């Protein structure tokens, strides 16, 4: 997977590219079905993932199978963090 981070709409100084890669590679990441009801016809995926340094991230992205373009990324909200922890506990 090639991660496309050119001209992103969030601050790469706050969330490093390596952290996004780690969150994508998180084996316990929670990924949601695509949002197909967009006016531009593209599909966006949403995910919750954790980095090696235990940073919990929410990110929205699209992919064509080879390239993944991150549209938005931020720290998880408290409710998202609790949801991730519940799903993680189910797999352990």
10, two tokens: 């969030």
| Paired strand residues for 31 | 47
pLDDT tens digits for the chain (92 residues)? Answer: 688 887 787 788 889 889 999 998 999 999 987 766 666 656 788 999 999 999 999 998 888 878 888 988 999 999 999 999 999 999 87
Residue 6 domain boundaries: 2-91
Count of domains observed in the chain? 1
| Angle, CA 39 vertex, CA 32 and CA 73 arms, to 5° | 45
Tabulate helix, strand, coil % of the chain (nearest 5): 25, 35, 40
């Amino acid at each position: 997977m090639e991660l496309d981070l050119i001209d992103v709409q969030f601050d790469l100084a706050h969330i490093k590219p390596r952290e996004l890669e780690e969150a994508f590679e998180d084996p316990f990441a929670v990924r949601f079905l695509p949002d197909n009801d967009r006016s531009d016809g593209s599909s966006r995926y949403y995910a919750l993932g954790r980095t090696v340094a235990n940073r919990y991230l929410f990110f929205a992205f699209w992919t064509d199978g080879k390239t993944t373009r991150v549209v938005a990324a931020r720290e998880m909200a408290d409710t998202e963090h609790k949801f991730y922890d519940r799903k993680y506990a189910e797999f352990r």
